[in-house]
Chains A and B, each alone.
Chain A
Amino acid sequence: MKLAFYALTSCEGCLTTLITNLGPNLEGLWRMFDIDYFKLVREPVGGVRIPKADIAFVEGAVVTDRDRKTLNEIRNNSSFVVALGTCASSGNIAYTASRAVDLDAKHLRDLEISPAEPLSSVVAVDFELSGCPVSAKEFTDALLRLINSMEPIQPDYSVCYECRSKGNPCLLDAKRVCLGPLAMGGCGAACPTVGSPCYSCRGPAVEADLNAYLIVLEKKGIGKERALMMLRMFTGKKAKELLKDEQ
């Protein structure tokens, strides 16, 4: 089975995470699959051409015209396209940031950049794996389900679910803004476990309820402005629907 890993405009952090965090699984990945395109690891087999692949993992947001062209080519050459990481699934920081600058300014016009978009705004995406960076464990689980012809599963719980089962003290109780109740889980509550609030880097949870969350903040005596700012930071396009009443 052929796999391919691409990066559009991004920090390539997701692909780096896969290399560093897959551990012993990385060897299995290279042993079992034909990987024709994974620039970070080795020279692509077919040169700059986008090869045919069964599953393509694409990292990064669509920002430049070149991104757009590459992505269309990837879509045409791949049976299954997985958006890898938050940039690819929701636009991440670039989504909001690129809308805050004047892209028509002279020094930017030549770069042929347009406001950042997630992959799904440009092509049909078969599955989205969120996370900034993506979790190597979730990547493995999704891949193993895919090769068994099963659709991968998005976590249907929020960050609180895993945070609470680790027995962490709640940051909201300490009057700190934490997006845990709104954020999609699956990360093992990595940030709150070390005492740093959740920024919802994986996008909103499947059943995120902003209204309920704002009431919670009010009950705890925490202002909502910071929470909304944090929510806009990572969730990009996905927060749009959630925040439509809060503009």
Chain B
Amino acid sequence: MMIRVSKQELLELPSLLSAMGYSVIAPIRTGGIVKLAPLGSDIQPELEYVRVVNSPKKFLLPDDELLFRYRSTATITSYGLKIRFPTAEGPCPVAILPEYNPVRERLALFGIHQCMVNSVRYLDTVMLRDPADPYYKNRRDGMFIAELDCDAGDEYCMCRTLGTYKVPAGYADIRMRKSGDGYLIEEATEAGKELLSKLKRQDVKGKYPISVPKMVKDFELVTRDDQEIDAKEASRSLVACTLCAACTVTCPTCYCMDIEDKFSLIDPSNVGRTRTKMSCQRRCYSTIAGGTTFLAAKEERFKWRVKHKFPFSINAFKLVGCTGCGNCIACCPAGIDFREFVGRRVA
């Protein structure tokens, strides 16, 4: 079913979604930028935008996520700096009794562009392959995606080259696009059908149009192979790289994570195992016991990032890890453009 609605009617959808029990996340304009954030009742989602500086990753793989808690019988009243391990009391090692309480929250992503829908697809491929990540799965199950078609990218976009302007089947529950002074909405799943039925609109005849977004700069991919990337010169454009890691932080598909134990002084025997974000641009990403850093130079780290997006992902998941959203270029203080490294400009 496809319906035509006015902008006002389209903006009713978020409240309909919350009424269905979803926590709605939508692009919101604030301080000159647009970012995805939980939608309050008094805020309107932004519909006329090109890029969001964060991505669904922020909500699907949140930073500092508590995986579980465990109790140890460690005490710290000892004198001196001595390690005290929890000691098993009797034959039963009661020391480690993990507590795990999955929380169920149904998320709805409203008005995200195709590149971000594709990033969800990539994260799904990584996180849901056997064995599935339970925390990710929990959030992903029953999630609602309302996709909003993007018609023209900015100077950093590359979705046309990568084909990520197409929404893969099953990833968007409804698709929306601007048409004239109103919007066309097409249902794509059962959940989408249920939502649209609440608008009580007449079915519009015809096919949901598919268009290729206009690009400011067009590129074709020339370097995507492991060895080719290694052999290519990159150091010149990287002089200005400050290793701030904005590229990996804002990337919608960078999923590297660290897992560490966190405790508090309130109850040091109560340890929380947490998952925090990690970046290949950081030194500790590739530093191992003894102090060797595999990726020491800027060039190596940049190439590692590009390799993870292209050859590594193609080999491991049969899917390109780059969705062409351009966040890594738009957010780079030095304006380092990986497209010029892996691609060639075409007129």
A residues at B contact (CB < 8 Å): 1, 22, 24-25, 27-29, 32, 54, 79-80, 140-141, 143-144, 146-149, 156-158, 160-161, 164-165, 167-170, 172, 174, 180-182, 195, 205-209, 211-213, 215-216, 219-220
For residue B60, CB closer than 8 A to chain A, the reply is: no
Question: Which residues of A sit under 8 angstroms from B170, Cβ to Cβ?
Answer: none
Out of A22, A146, A164, A211, which one reaches B246, CB within 8 Å?
Answer: A164
Cα–Cα, bound, A216→B243 (Å): 12
CA distance A164 to B330 in the complex (A): 12
CA distance A168 to B266 in the complex (A): 32
Can you report 25 residue pairs joining A to B where beta carbons are below 8 Å apart?
A: A1-B76, A1-B77, A24-B264, A25-B264, A27-B266, A32-B265, A54-B80, A79-B81, A143-B265, A147-B81, A147-B268, A148-B83, A160-B245, A161-B244, A164-B246, A164-B249, A165-B249, A167-B58, A170-B331, A207-B243, A209-B241, A209-B243, A212-B242, A216-B240, A216-B333
- B-side contacts of A147, CB under 8 Å: 76, 81, 268
Q: Which residues of B contact A170 (CB under 8 A)?
A: 331, 333
Cβ-neighbour of A211 out of B33, B239, B249 (below 8 A): B239
B242 touches A28 (CB 8 A): no
The residue that B268 contacts in the complex, of A32, A54, A207, A220, with Cβ under 8 A, is A32
**Which 4 interchain pairs have the tightest Cβ spacing?**
A160-B244, A28-B265, A181-B242, A25-B265
| Cβ contacts under 8 Å, A148 to chain B | 83
| Distance A207 CA – B296 CA, assembled complex (angstroms) | 10
Binding site for A on B (CB under 8 A): 31-33, 35, 37, 53-54, 58, 63, 76-83, 239-246, 249-250, 262-268, 277, 279, 282-284, 331, 333-335
Interface of B is mostly: loop
**Chain A residues closer than 8 Å to B268, beta-carbon distance:** 28, 32, 144, 147
Cβ-defined contact, B244 with A149, below 8 A: no
Nearest A residue to B74 via CB reads: A148
* Residue in chain B with minimal CB distance to A145: B263
Residue of A nearest to B263 (CB): A144
Q: Which of A54, A144, A182 has a CB less than 8 Å from the CB of B79? A: A54
Q: Least Cβ distance of A195 to chain B in Å?
A: 8
- Within 8 Å by CB of A169, from B31, B277, B334, lies B31
Minimum CB–CB distance from B286 to chain A (whole Å) comes to 11
Q: A32-B268, A164-B244 are in contact. Are A212 and B334 (CB under 8 A)?
A: yes
Chain B residues in 8 Å Cβ range of A80: 81
- Contact between B80 and A169 (Cβ–Cβ < 8 Å)? no
A residues near B33, Cβ cutoff 8 Å: 167, 169
How far apart sit A208 and B53, CA to CA, in the bound complex (Å)? 24
Which residue of the partner chain A has the closest CB to B267? A28
B239 and A212 form a contact (CB under 8 A): yes
